Structure formats: C-alpha cells, structure tokens
Amino acid sequence: MAVLRAQAIMKIIVVIGAGGNQGGSVARTFLNLPHWKVRAITRNPSSPAAKALEVLGAEVVQANLSDPDTLSQAFHGAHAIFLNTDFWATYRSFVATTTPKEKGPLDGEEFDPGKVAYQAEVSYGRNAAEAAATVPTLECLVYSALPAMTKSTGGKYKSHHADSKGAIADYIETELPDLAKKTSFIYLGAYNTNALLSPVLDPSDGKYKYFLPLSKAARMPIINQKESTGLFVKALIEDEAPGTKLLAYDTNSYLTYEQIRDIWSRASGKEADFVTVTVQFMHEKFKTPMELIQSVPALEEYGYTGSMKVIEPGDLKTAVRTKSWEEWMMERDWKAILEA
Ligand SMILES: NC(=O)c1ccc[n+]([C@@H]2O[C@H](COP(=O)([O-])OP(=O)(O)OC[C@H]3O[C@@H](n4cnc5c(N)ncnc54)[C@H](OP(=O)(O)O)[C@@H]3O)[C@@H](O)[C@H]2O)c1
C-alpha cells in the first residue's frame, strides 16, 4: 500500500537530449530524486548513453525534434519538460557534407552553415514548444536558451547559435502564452571545456597565450555543464516561479579574463600571456569560424546577457552549491592536457 501511494505521487520529467551534456546532467539529477520519474528522449535508444540511463532507471523513449508526432507521444503525461536544442550538429554536418564549390566564400551569405543551423534549431524548438503546449498535465517547461545576441546588443552583433535560441524563447513568449505561463529559461554560462577559456601554445616563442578580441577586464560566467545543469534545472522546477530567467554558473565562477588566465596558470603550472587581437585576426590566424567568434567582443561591451534581465545563482530561493571552476581546473590531468 505504501509503495502504491509513493508511486501515485511521482511526477514525470521528460528530458530532451538526455544522452548529451546538459540533458544527461538533468536526467541524472532527477533520477536521484525519489518523487520523479525520468523519461529520457533520444533518436537512438540503443546508444551507449541511452542504455546507461536505462540502467539507472530512466524510461528511454525514441523521438526526434524534427518529427512533431513523436514529440506528442513522448510528452504524454509529463509534469515537467527539459528542452535543449542543439545548433552545432547541424552546423558541423552542413560544413562536412557540402562540397567546397557549393560552400562559396567561407562563412559567406549564400552557403552560411550558421543560417542553415539557425533554421533547423528554430524549427526543432518550435516543434517541441507546440507539442508541450498541448500536454494537459504539464506544470513546467525549462528551455535552455542563450541570450539573443542581435536583440540584446541592439543589432550591433549577431550570433546564429544564440539568436536561434532567443527566437525559440520569443516564440514561446509571444505565440504560446499559456505555455509561457509554465516556462522558465536557463542561460548556461560558458562550458568549463569551452575553447575560449584556454590559451594556445604560440610556436613562434613557445609561450602560452590567450588571443582574444577582449581585454583582461571582460567577465565570463562558467559552468560545469555535465554536473551543474541538473542542479539549476531542479531549482527552477521545484522552487522558482515560472517565468524565471536564470543565468546559471558555478559558485565563484563569474570571472574576469585576468582571473581566468591566473587560474589556468595555477592549475597547469605554466605562465600564460594575454594578447588582445581583432576577430579578423583570430579568423585568419587560427581559422576560427566567424560563427564562434564574431560576437565575442559583445561580452566586454554588453556583458554575457546584454540588455536581458536575468536572475543569478545567488538570487535563487534555495541555494545551489557547486564546485568552482578553479576547483575543477585543479583536479584535471594537466600532464595529459599539456602533452595533447
Ligand atoms: N559550449 C558552450 O560553452 C555552451 C554554453 C551554453 C550553451 N551551449 C549550447 O548547448 C547546446 C548543446 O547542448 P549539449 O552540449 O548538451 O549537446 P550534446 O552533448 O551534443 O547533446 C545533444 C543532444 O541533443 C539530442 N538531439 C540532437 N538533435 C536531436 C533531434 N533532432 N531530436 C532529438 N534529440 C536531438 C541528442 O540526442 P540523441 O543523439 O540521443 O538523439 C543529444 O543527446 C548547443 O546548442 C550550444 O549552443 C553551449
């Protein structure tokens, strides 16, 4: 009888991208909570990541963000949905499969992989939002977005991978008002593994250097995407009112580039210089795609969230404590990293 009663009050969270960085963190967090059942969504239920979640107790369900019918089935009976949309898989696949002739000028207008990935991601997000809007049991949707660059910088900078997520958030807020009343947004800081947090070895003098279109005063929020995402999503679902917009980053991990450089040096045991360069220099010298770097100067001019109003981890009703980026860096295998 007690078992039946416990089962009756269990809620279902549907996790999209459950085999990935963010979704995996959300799935593992909720699998540890006795009052939640986790429904892990994947396109491939026989993948190692899906199998591992099944072993931990998740119900694994096949669905595709490009196929609305599969989403309606996957969302049946859900009380909460965590939605993550991926930009980079479409971007990389377009770059890999389009022949050089078709590509036209690098990052040019006609065959811009950023535009293709933008359109795909927006359609995925809209499909998921429209399916979520029809779920009568739904109490909370959390969408993992990024601040819309063009909007939050008044048009000065653009970034397809941020603007796409901003467009999905706008769609929910303007076109699906009933769903919007149940929706919160999480804006993750830079992943702890983000290339913008590490210097490169300059072969001309053998020194490590941060080449960035920023000064050392620019600030970056940093998060351990695999460990911390779930903790913040739990706080949004269980403790915060819908409509919350949270900039999520780890404890003591909203850092200036001077601090980032100093932590990298303490952890690796190597000195690193900081060199302010232009976006064009990075694009030409390191072949960094414009999609990744064209909006980086906005970090200094407008801040990570631009003109958007967000709360930060310190504002949450229930504190979320995580390891800091510095603690995470100190635990890494620096011999292997420096030799790679
Ligand atoms: N790097 C950073 O610093 C940073 C910071 C903030 C936000 N982000 C954003 O994070 C996003 C990526 O998230 P992540 O790191 O968690 O990605 P990830 O580890 O690559 O996982 C992506 C997940 O999305 C699922 N997926 C992809 N296409 C799908 C589709 N059509 N239908 C259903 N599921 C689909 C995949 O599931 P299956 O393969 O199992 O189907 C996979 O589990 C990107 O959009 C990026 O812009 C990155």
Average pLDDT over residues 229-242: 98
| Number of structural domains found in the chain | 1
119 lines ligand 1 (CB under 6 A): no
Residue 336 located in a structural domain = no
What type of residue sits at position 35? H
Residue 19 located in a structural domain = yes
pLDDT, tens digit (0-9, with 9 covering 90-100), for 70-125? 999 999 999 999 999 999 999 999 888 876 666 655 555 567 899 999 999 999 99
CATH number at residue 235: 3.40.50.720
Q: Determine the residue of 82, 84, 222 to mutate for testing ligand 1's pocket, defined as the one with the most ligand atoms within 8 A of the Cβ atom.
A: 84
Decide if pLDDT at 229 tops 50: yes
Residue 32 located in a structural domain = yes
Q: How far is the CA of 217 from the centre of ligand 1 (A)?
A: 30
Ligand 1 atom 13, closest CA: 86
pLDDT, tens digit (0-9, with 9 covering 90-100), for 176-201? 999 999 999 999 999 999 999 999 99
Residue 94 located in a structural domain = yes
The share of the chain scoring above pLDDT 90, in percent, equals 90
* Structural domain containing residue 132: 2-190+222-252+305-322
Residue 297 located in a structural domain = no
Q: Taking Cα atoms as reference points, which of 173, 130, 183, 182 lies closest to residue 151?
A: 173
| pLDDT value for 104 | 58
Residue 105 located in a structural domain = yes
Average pLDDT over residues 125-151: 97
| pLDDT value for 2 | 46
Residue 208 located in a structural domain = no
228 lines ligand 1 (CB under 6 A): no
Average pLDDT over residues 53-75: 98
pLDDT band at 130 (very low <50, low <70, confident <90, very high): very high
Q: Which atom of ligand 1 lies nearest, measured to the CA of 50? A: 40
93 lines ligand 1 (CB under 6 A): no
Residue 257 located in a structural domain = no
Decide if pLDDT at 7 tops 60: no
47 lines ligand 1 (CB under 6 A): yes
